[in-house]
Amino acid sequence: MEYNVHTLKNGIRILHVPAASAISHACILVNAGSRDEEDAQMGLAHFIEHLIFKRTEKRSTTQILNRLESVGADLNAYTTKEYTCIHASFLHPYLDRTLELFNDIVFHSTFPEDEMEKEKGVVLDEISSYLDQPEEAINDDFEDLLFRGHSFGRNILGTPETVSNLSKTDIHSFIKTNYRTDQIIIAVIGNYTLKKLAKIGEKYFANVPENTSSVNRIAPLANPSLHQIVDKQIAQSHCMMGTQTYSLYHPYKTGLLLLNNLFGGNGMSSTLNLQLREKYGIAYTIESAYSPLSDTGIFAIYFGTDKEKSEKAMQLIRKEMNKLKQKPLTEVQLHKAQNKFIGQIALGEENRIGLIIAMAKSLLDYNHIDSLETVFQKIRQVSVKDMSQIINEVFDESKWTSLLFNPVD
């Protein structure tokens, strides 16, 4: 897909993606997330994401929320371990309004004490709600095991204790350190010229003070394998098992994305779904996921099942992993897997808000954006030999960690 990049003098980049549509999508992506917090500040990046909607130098909470909703637009945000993203979908005429609001909430929020205390209660409720969903809570607990001792293991929401103790000083310090202008992307997909987008971008973001200080992110070490069982007041067992693996920049990243899609990714025809759900009727939800990060990656498998079936489920998963190690994929099997993955990616292009965020991330991570044809070419270039190497490295169970939530009898 065609794109252009306009860089402001302060380092902020404006990503322009032309598209002939009455609906436009935009995001502001900041290369700062929960991994950048101090130990006592767990939940700070996510807390800031909440608070920027509360009050600015010229707007109340209601005015912020109504600024786009009053014209039928959608405004939202999320925080990950490495990013903070604010995004909006709106009708074509409201680009100026959207980017002005992005500027206001990101760079002119006031973080008043009364709103901070109110929002702490909201986040504490969010934490409680999250803990009531074992299929969600196990993901964070698993990553805490996998990355124990490193900030990647932290719950993005934080803990009740850390959230309760967050201060305005913490907020300003985090923003000053981590909201670096050369690590901010403003991305828009819509029926606009580059000239128009650049003009509006300059209008609202050229005066943001330059901040290009460096942040020393420490890469995690590989921890020894650990297997933990936790008894909980829940109805069924939940399990996660997996390992640290390839980063965003590893040459095998594309191959592992392909393997994940084949083994337990999207679609009912994945290996794990066909074996555990369709053949044995063991698990309603069984899936794998690969999340490449800037200096590591996570490959993990999740399933939920009845307590008495959990051991059988783990045995079947190991069996399928060993099958792939002992009997490598054939050229025909690989070709089918590549076609399936390519088709899913092509269909995913229809999700325009997801597309513009993914393109902004690519610009942050790689300083360029691959065309769809280049992405497909990389997938087709993955060889049987590559897949065999990836399977043997990633499916090495001696390096795997597992966490099982077991119902209390």
Note the CATH architecture for domain 227-407.
Answer: 2-Layer Sandwich (3.30)
Mean pLDDT of 142-150: 95
Return the pLDDT at 202.
98
List pLDDT tens digits, range 183-222. 999 999 999 999 999 999 999 999 999 999 888 899 999 8
- The answer, yes or no, to whether residue 1 has pLDDT greater than 90, is no
- The pLDDT mean for the chain works out to 96
Report domain extents, the chain. 4-205, 227-407
CA distance 384 to 68: 50
List pLDDT tens digits, range 251-261. 999 999 999 99
Return the pLDDT at 214.
85
Distances (CA, A) of 274 to 14, 277, 284: 44, 6, 11
List pLDDT tens digits, range 306-355. 999 999 999 999 999 999 999 999 999 999 999 999 999 999 989 999 99
Best CATH choice for the domain 4-205 from the list 3.20.20.70, 3.40.640.10, 3.30.830.10, 3.40.50.9100? 3.30.830.10
4-205 shares its CATH topology with 227-407:
yes
Confidence of residue 267 (pLDDT cuts 50, 70, 90): confident
- The answer, yes or no, to whether residue 162 has pLDDT greater than 80, is yes
- The answer, yes or no, to whether residue 409 has pLDDT greater than 80, is no
